[in-house]
């Protein structure tokens, strides 16, 4: 099994798990970081990473993964508003989801910038030289 296929299976599994936890009246304490917004940031950062690893290297891969992750966060908020009586939709939850997405995208951008700088300085070989 390829890494991409394995990551796709993990992405589906994590997506289902997050949806399940988000729609439970009270998620188990073991799935709680102690602050609801931290739960959102971490959950969506994990989804973003798995979505990135699930895609083949294509242009705008970060954008596609971010869109998938943000749509998942929006879906959770809509489902909480429609299907539960103990949970409610909050814009701040969606903002926390966006923070998780931006955290991953920003880290990738920083790593790419560092790698490019090291290649230009001759401290690291470029992909063409490998």
Quick check: 41 pLDDT over 80? yes
Quick check: 125 pLDDT over 60? no
SS3 90: coil
Quick check: 32 pLDDT over 80? no
Q: What is the DSSP string of 23-73?
A: HSSS--GGG--SSHHHHHHHHHHHHHHHHHHHS-S-TTHHHHHHHHHHHHH
Q: Give the pLDDT score at 46.
A: 97
What are the pLDDT digits (tens) for 53-100? 999 887 899 999 999 999 999 999 999 999 998 888 999 999 999 999
Q: Which long-range contacts (CB under 8 A, 24 or more apart) does 54-58 make?
A: 54/4, 54/7, 54/8, 54/11, 55/4, 56/4
In the numeric block, the tokens 């994990």 are attached to 46
């Amino acid at each position: 099994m390829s890494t991409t296929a394995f990551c796709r299976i993990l992405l589906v599994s994590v997506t289902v798990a997050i949806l399940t936890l988000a729609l439970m009246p009270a998620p188990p304490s073991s799935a709680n970081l102690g602050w609801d917004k931290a739960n959102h940031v971490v959950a969506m950062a994990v989804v973003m990473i798995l979505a990135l690893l699930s895609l083949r290297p294509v242009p705008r891969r970060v954008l596609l993964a971010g869109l998938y992750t943000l749509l998942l966060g929006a879906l959770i908020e809509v489902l909480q508003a429609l299907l539960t009586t103990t949970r409610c939709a909050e814009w701040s939850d969606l903002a926390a989801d966006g923070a998780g997405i931006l955290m991953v995208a920003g880290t990738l951008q920083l790593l790419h910038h560092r790698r490019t700088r090291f290649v230009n300085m001759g401290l690291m070989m470029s992909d063409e030289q490998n």
